[in-house]
Amino acid sequence: MCVTASRAGPLSRSTSGDPGKGSEAAVATKVVLVDDHELIRQGLRRAFERSGEFEVTGEAGSIAEAIDIVAATTPDVVVMDVRLPDGSGLDATRKLRALRSDLGIVVLTMYAGDEQLFGALEAGASAFVPKDAPADDVVAAARHAAVSPRAFTANDLAGAMQRRLTPTGPQLSPREREVLGLLADGLGVAQISKQLFISESTTKTHISKVYEKLGAANRAQALMTAMRLRLIANPAEPRP
């Protein structure tokens, strides 16, 4: 599925010469490959060259190299790994997008979760492809990116958007959230009861429900799960 992000409209790239010169051959789409693993770059190069539509004009193993090669070769598309030795490929995507609005950027990552997908979208990428996808998927994404660099596409985009819009994880009631917060502050049953003006039996019921919803057997497990789900702040992080 492809959706146009809230950015400037897509810019089309001409893949042939002047229509008035009908005999002129089609122009190959120029691609730069950015990944710190040479074997991955070689595999992608073969896939792009096999398609017959693309010309790989450069390869880079770092952000610094990528910026220089893009400036020198002015490609139509960049295939960008997320994890690079000198920084994040998403930061590089932002830099390249700021330099060229017409550049197609395909983000390639081994960690293909929703956060990475939306990170690529927000960075200005044209497409998002997990590394475990077939090489032909990367080629197809580059084909899209060359034609619509400012429209974002990803195989699981619809599902990711649905998951972002639909609350996930345990749904605690307002009272259960209060109890969880007091547990995190180190209060016991009697102290929680006094602070919330409820009986100890009611407090124990709320605590039992919190444990059940978090899949925890005790306070420590409940707090660890709650921190992981960001239901409470990590003690190492400053509170707002």
The Cα–Cα gap between 142 and 162 comes to 25
Distance of CA 145 to the CA centre of its chain: 17
Check: CB of residue 117 under 8 Å from CB of residue 156: yes
Residue 53 scores a pLDDT above 50: yes
Q: Using one digit for the tens of pLDDT, what is the confidence trace for 142-186?
A: 999 999 999 999 998 988 887 777 666 788 888 999 999 999 999
State mean pLDDT over 62-83: 96
* pLDDT at residue 2, rounded to an integer: 43
Q: Which of 5-9, 100-104, 210-214, 224-228 has the highest mean pLDDT?
A: 100-104
In contact, 183 and 219? CB cutoff 8 Å: yes
Strands 29-34 and 54-60 come out as parallel
- For the entire predicted model, the pTM comes to 0.64
Residue 59: pLDDT over 70:
yes
Q: Shortest CA distance to 148 belongs to which of 29, 16, 22?
A: 29
Mean pLDDT of 6-26: 43
Q: Do the strands 152-154 and 29-34 form a parallel or antiparallel pair, or are they unpaired?
A: unpaired
Mean pLDDT, the chain, rounded, equals 86
Return the number of other C-beta atoms located less than 10 Å from residue 231's C-beta. 21
